[in-house]
Chain A
Amino acid sequence: EPEVTQTPSHQVTQMGQEVILRCVPISNHLYFYWYRQILGQKVEFLVSFYNNEISEKSEIFDDQFSVERPDGSNFTLKIRSTKLEDSAMYFCASSRPGLAGTYTDTQYFGPGTRLTVL
């Protein structure tokens, strides 16, 4: 069964450094997402992406964050200058088009990247 994959599984970085988290969505999916989960808390939406542009972003997704689909398979999340509070598990998800082109289909999550900012 196709899966969303993410690399690396664990990233340790110094505060102020840039990090890029990588995701390979399921191949026939067209909608892509990033979520994060601080240890012991709920999953929080960061951004959704379709047709090479951001569809919606949360208040967490400030100017330090950016997403890109550099080629036909990868979907990346960049944090330009990491802060301590960026430490979390970052999940990528993808979905097929729902009915009538909506986003209502199931979102499949990758295994996550644990980001630790020191």
Chain B
Amino acid sequence: EIVLTQSPATLSLSPGERATLSCRASQSVSSYLAWYQQKPGQAPRLLISDASNRATGIPARFSGSGSGTDFTLTISSLEPEDFAVYYCQQRSNWPRTFGQGTKVEIK
């Protein structure tokens, strides 16, 4: 099973600041990595697939990068609605696995 480790666990930032979230895989997943956003009481929302492709309707301030084992989700300038929990997920191998999440909170 591929283990995805996200860091940091919590990121405390102010609106307008840049957020950088990390996801590291226990073995190479090539570019088969996605990012999801989840707000309290809501289902997750797909943000990024294939490491760097924004999903339909996702603002350009969200960007993804990386390949192999190291990946980054960057939010260029935090909007109030971006404070949430973010998960990475791989589709390279079965079982599909998620990281444990990074909470982006208001400082």
Q: Do A and B come from one complex?
A: no
**A positions within 8 Å CB-CB of B:** none
Q: Which residues of B contact A (CB under 8 A)?
A: none
